[in-house]
Amino acid sequence: MRKEYDFAKMNGRKNPYAKQLKKQITIRMGIDIIEYFKQMSMETGVPYQNLINMYLRDCVQSQRRISIGWGIAAEASSPEPG
């Protein structure tokens, strides 16, 4: 290794913001979802976990909201009090 690239004698400093960038979690996902992102990963060369993160980040940035129909149907079919 060339002398100017030898970092062994230098005191490296960790990124103080690294923990704020990403947090490891455990999440249960359908096998079909995982396979979808793994297939996309093979096509793009981007790791599938990064693709999932990118997709969720896009949802956050565009303030995309999920439409859940079963909650509305349950409210409409419940009897009125009184």
b/e sequence 15-38, b meaning 16+ C-beta within 10 Å: eeeeeeeeeeeeeeeeeeeeeebe
pLDDT computed for residue 23 by the predictor: 85
b/e sequence 54-71, b meaning 16+ C-beta within 10 Å: eeeeeeeeeeeeeeeeee
Higher pLDDT, 9 or 14: 14
pLDDT computed for residue 69 by the predictor: 84
Per-residue pLDDT tens over the stretch 18-73? 777 888 899 999 999 999 999 999 999 999 999 999 999 999 999 999 888 876 55
State whether residue 39 is helix, strand or coil. helix
Kindly report the backbone phi and psi dihedral angles of residue 9, in degrees, each rounded to the nearest multiple of 5, phi listed first. Answer: -90, -10
pLDDT computed for residue 20 by the predictor: 72
> Which pTM was predicted?
0.60
For residues 30 and 39, give the distance between their C-alpha atoms in angstroms, rounded to a whole number. Answer: 14
Predicted confidence band of residue 81 (pLDDT cuts 50, 70, 90)? low
